[in-house]
Chains A and B, each alone.
Chain A
Amino acid sequence: MVEPGSGGYVHDILFYSSDDELLPVALPFLSEALDHDESVILACRTHHNRLLTGALGDHPRLQVVPRVGTAGRPAEAIAQSAAVFRRELRSGARRIRLMGEINFGATPREWAWWSTWEAVANLALANYPLWNVCLYHIERQPEGVLQLARLTHPHVVTPDRERTANPHYVEPAEFLRQLPSIGPHVLEQTTPSFSTDDLTDLAELRRVAYGTALASTTFPERQVEGFVHALSEVASNALVHGRPPVEVRLWAAHDQLLSTVVDHGGGFDDPLAGYVPLEDRRMAPGHGLWLARRMCDHIETAPTGDAFTVRLLTSR
């Protein structure tokens, strides 16, 4: 496989149908790394992790990490992946080769959700010297997952180790815009558990949201705290960067927590906002949304006329 010219993040996809197709690509790709002062990280299904580590043998620069998907949230998974890569680079690796298989879950909503990892990784990990080959079994993965995967990988690797540009690739921001919206949510047709047309007191908002969510949903306290913290950060952004009045609605219903925060400023039109980990240690604006994305399941921004709506959703 011809080495990419980029010194940054390289994101390839391998469609395969059997181990016999996978191994002739994976083993040379990974063993070359170990021969050249690079590190290898495997984040695949257990079967493949075992197969590959068995073939490569023990090596101090080979490690297996949990695969991305199902549990957690994409923004959190990206941040955690980046932390693993930073540690590895700090320990002296010249470059990292990552072979991974995302656990996409069972529903189209989960497929779309975890595909955001694939899309956002192209930007969030752009500065990392990392060559990532993602594995997609063309028979085991649902067609919906494969369709999304074709849109999120700039290059395709074939079982005969050819590496070519992917003609179906779309830029991450465009990809996120094409994903199904979570709003207006059906809960928004019901009476909210809490509402204010002119938010002035953030502490009171946190207090009410926390109490309401604990009383009206089955979420564990930790998850409620995360949602309330996310809501507080989004509301803070509206108060500081938006234009008053700031309107907040909260719906708390058994297994769903939904909130809308509306201000009357221009907002922004960047679906990637809050996804890309911020390396800036001065905690510049942007960290609030980045943190919020890690603390609730979905955050969607929608400029609408003279208003700007941020919608937060956590659900089971």
Chain B
Amino acid sequence: MVLDDEPQGALGWDGHLLLLHRTEPERKTFLVAWIRHGLVQGEKVIYGQVEMSLPPDIAETLTEQGIDVSAALDDGQLSIESPQDLGRPGRTREIIEKALAEGYRAARISVDSPPVGDVLDGAQADLEKMLDDHCRHYPFSALCQYRANILDASVLEIAVKLHAGEIRTAHLITGMDAGRMVVAGELDVTNDTLLTLLLKVVSASASERLVVNLSSVNFMGVAAARALVEGTADFRDAGGRVMLRAPTGDTEWFLRVLGIDEIEHFELSGAA
């Protein structure tokens, strides 16, 4: 068992990411990691904030992690924009293209405290689709922040689909593309519902087989094993094969004890 404070795991900080946070420290931990990654990589980082200044605790943590925040703000690599301005039609595209023209290798945007009362209403969904489109066509990353406890199951499903399964939570980190899913972190009753949903979403778009890479799972409880079974039930019932790849020794032992490798259409193997 490796119990690691590092939330990043095996997955990157690029692309269209969904940050589902339950607490403010959780949100800040991931946000700082995402900002830091962009700055270290030589990207333009735009942070949407009503007060038009970087929150002091985020600046302090970045400084502790070796980032010269003042210099980044002074030379414009890190800039603060108002959320209203970022919401203007075409504004995000302008920012990206300007950053690239200035020589930055990529751009990234996140907005503090997005609207929560009407999360994923029509306007918000349109914004998410626009960000997703930019992530596909530009060297661009968007970190969309949502409070996990305000999302009901149906809204969560929409959010997951809009972010192509690139999810960051306190203890569950995932990345997905067609027929493949990477899961990292500690999987238990605190995130089994989300894991079930993610598996349903990714398996719905898989053809004959779904590969789930478990190499960066540090802990797996029974609830997570249940999520593996429930989240892929429809896919397996239709004849799809689920290949659980590269679990650590503990996770593999655990899955075998539970007999998951004896369930039809599940395969458990070492190679990633």
A binding-site residues for B, Cβ under 8 Å: 79, 202-203, 206-207, 210, 225, 228-229, 232-233, 236, 239-240, 281-284, 287-288, 291, 294
Contact = CB atoms under 8 A, between A and B. Distances in A.
B221 A232 contact: yes
A291 B259 contact: no
A37 to B, nearest CB: 25
A281 B229 contact: yes
Contacts of B190: 202-203
A221 B6 CA distance: 21
Interface in B159-213: 170-171, 186, 188-190
A203 B5 CA distance: 10
Interface in B218-272: 219, 221-223, 225-226, 229-230, 233, 250, 254, 257-260, 262-263
Contact of B226 (A202, A239, A282): A282
Contacts of B71: none
B247 to A, nearest CB: 14
Contact of A236 (B223, B225, B230): B223
A291 B222 contact: yes
Contact of A233 (B186, B221, B230, B260): B221
Contacts of A207: 3
A225 B218 CA distance: 12
A79 B253 CA distance: 14
Given A281-B263, A283-B229, A288-B222, A203 B258 contact: no
B250 A283 contact: no
A210 B263 CA distance: 31
Given A283-B225, A283-B230, A283-B258, 15 more contacts: A202-B190, A203-B3, A206-B3, A206-B186, A206-B219, A229-B219, A229-B254, A233-B222, A236-B189, A282-B226, A282-B233, A287-B258, A288-B223, A291-B257, A291-B258
B40 interface: no
B221 A282 contact: no
Nearest to B4: A207
B251 to A, nearest CB: 11
Contacts of A228: 1
A240 B262 CA distance: 27
8 contacts: A202-B186, A202-B190, A228-B1, A229-B221, A236-B188, A282-B226, A282-B233, A287-B226
Which 3 pairs from chain A and chain B are nearest by CB? A283-B226, A288-B222, A236-B189
B222 A287 contact: yes
Given A207-B3, A291-B257, A283 B222 contact: yes
A281 B225 contact: no
Contacts of A281: 229, 259, 262-263
A207 B3 CA distance: 6
Nearest to B223: A236
A288 B258 CA distance: 10
B188 A203 contact: yes
Contacts of B188: 202-203, 232, 236
Contact of A240 (B189, B258, B260): B189
Contacts of B257: 79, 291, 294
A300 B266 CA distance: 34
Nearest to B185: A203
Nearest to A221: B1
Interface in B127-175: 170-171
A92 to B, nearest CB: 18
Contacts of A284: 226
B229 A239 contact: no
B221 A236 contact: yes
A202 B229 CA distance: 22
A256 B188 CA distance: 26
A207 to B, nearest CB: 5
A266 B225 CA distance: 26
A210 B170 CA distance: 19
Residue among A233, A281, A283, A284 with most chain B CB within 10 A:
A283
Given A236-B223, A287-B222, A225 B189 contact: no
A194 B190 CA distance: 21
A239 B190 CA distance: 10
Nearest to A288: B222
A207 B171 CA distance: 13
Residue among B170, B222, B223, B259 with most chain A CB within 10 A:
B222
Contacts of A282: 226, 229-230, 233
B187 to A, nearest CB: 10
Contact of A210 (B1, B171, B221): B1
Nearest to B224: A283
Contacts of B222: 233, 236, 283, 287-288, 291
Nearest to A291: B222
Contacts of B229: 281-283
A229 B188 CA distance: 11
Contacts of B225: 283, 287
A210 B189 CA distance: 19
Contacts of B262: 281
Nearest to A281: B263
A294 B257 CA distance: 10
